[in-house]
Structure 1
Amino acid sequence: MSVLGRYLKKHIEALVKDVGIEAACELTGKSKATLGRYYSDYPEHADRFMPVDAVAALEEAASYPHVTSALAELKGITLNFDQTRRNSPRQGGINADVIALSQRFAMLMAEYNQSIEDGVISANEAKRLLKETLAIQKVLIDMKLHLEDETT
């Protein structure tokens, strides 16, 4: 399987797990087995990918647009992800964002230090590092939105 295929399948898996397998089955009308094939890395499922309408339905219910974000990253595009609704006030401000960013970065560095201690980053350690990296990305997006609010 290509690197691109594995990358997309990992994000499809994250999307399904974010929504929950039962809810994903209900939202897409697909069985657990079918959804599993969409993110399976077995050679016999290498050419099976989730249809776009199923991705859209799951991303509507998910906490984060995992597949859309992955596709954007592959093209070098930055998405502006805002969990809040248009007319809801944003909590905190730029100072709160800087504090949150500092805390998240410290957590990432602590996780990295622990992960690299034996000279090898395991799959579980990589997942924890990815989780922290995504948390930093969300804080940076909040910071960007606060800065945009201040310039308008």
Structure 2
Amino acid sequence: MTIRPYGIIETYGDVSLTEAAIEDQCGALDVNGYLKKHTEALVKDVGIEAACKLTGKSKATLGRYYSMDDDHSDRFMPVDAVAALEAAASYPHVTAALAELRGVSVSGEEMTRRNSKGGINSDVITLSQRFAMLMAEYNLSIDDGVISINEAKRLLRETLELQKILVEMKLHLEEEAG
């Protein structure tokens, strides 16, 4: 998506996105970078080798989907590939990013239920992944030297997700301790 002067950025069917609308929704005009970072997080969550098998794409092709290089700025992962990877991932990275851009959030209830059977080891893995997501979000937010209100809200959501995982972890530890 390229920002054009004076308003409309892209038109999708009946929906036109403007600079103001995007800034209101995500607190930044770099929608491409935001989506590419979440695409990269998705591929790394699944693992590059597994991602290649699940999508039928090469490592180079997957890399182009999240490359910030100008040559690949207009390349994004197809929806079917995102769906295949998110089915295998611990978190729906791209879906959550798209929801965030729209101003809604993805519930973590299913993820919590899925991990509640895994015990403490599963909790530690999930905790480290969510912490990495928090740090990635922080890095993206502080890039311009200022954390906007919308960026602070996203950081708060990530922090709340970490808190939920810690509660699950506490429950598993109490269960194991008897």
| TM-score, normalised with respect to structure 1 | 0.60
Stretches of structure 1 lacking an aligned partner (at least 5 in a row) = 92-103, 116-120, 123-129, 144-152
Q: Number of residue pairs matched?
A: 110
Q: Cα deviation per residue 1:105-129 (whole Å; 9 max; x = unaligned)?
A: xxx9xxx9xx9xxxxx68xxxxxxx
Of 35, 58, 83, which residue of structure 1 is paired with 2:62? 35
CA RMSD of aligned residues (A): 3.6
Residue in 2 that maps onto 1:17:
44
Residue in 1 that maps onto 2:101:
74
Q: CA–CA distance in 2 between the matches of 1:29 and 1:135?
A: 34
Superposition pairs of residues 52-131 of structure 1, within 5 angstroms = 52-81=79-108, 82-83=110-111, 84-85=113-114
Task: Tell me whether 131-140 or 66-75 shows the greater mean CA deviation.
Answer: 131-140
| 1:137 Cα deviation from its structure 2 partner | 2.2
| 1:21 Cα deviation from its structure 2 partner | 0.2
Of 134, 137, 141, which residue of structure 1 is paired with 2:161? 137
Percent identical residues: 59
Whether the aligned pair in 2 keeps the contact of 1:16 and 1:58 (CA below 8 Å) is: yes
Whether the aligned pair in 2 keeps the contact of 1:80 and 1:141 (CA below 8 Å) is: no
| 1:79 Cα deviation from its structure 2 partner | 1.5
Q: CA–CA distance in 2 between the matches of 1:131 and 1:22?
A: 30
Residue in 1 that maps onto 2:21:
none
Q: CA–CA distance in 1 between the matches of 2:98 and 2:156?
A: 20
Q: CA–CA distance in 2 between the matches of 1:46 and 1:80?
A: 30
| 1:134 Cα deviation from its structure 2 partner | 2.7
Moved segments of 4+, more than 2 Å: 130-143
| TM-score, normalised with respect to structure 2 | 0.51
Residue in 2 that maps onto 1:49:
76
| 1:136 Cα deviation from its structure 2 partner | 2.8
Letter in 1 for 2:163: V
CA 1:17/1:131 → structure 2, altered by over 3 Å: closer, same or farther?
Answer: farther
Q: CA–CA distance in 2 between the matches of 1:62 and 1:134?
A: 17
Letter in 1 for 2:160: I
Q: Cα deviation per residue 1:59-102 (whole Å; 9 max; x = unaligned)?
A: 000000000000000011021122215xx78x9xxxxxxxxxxx
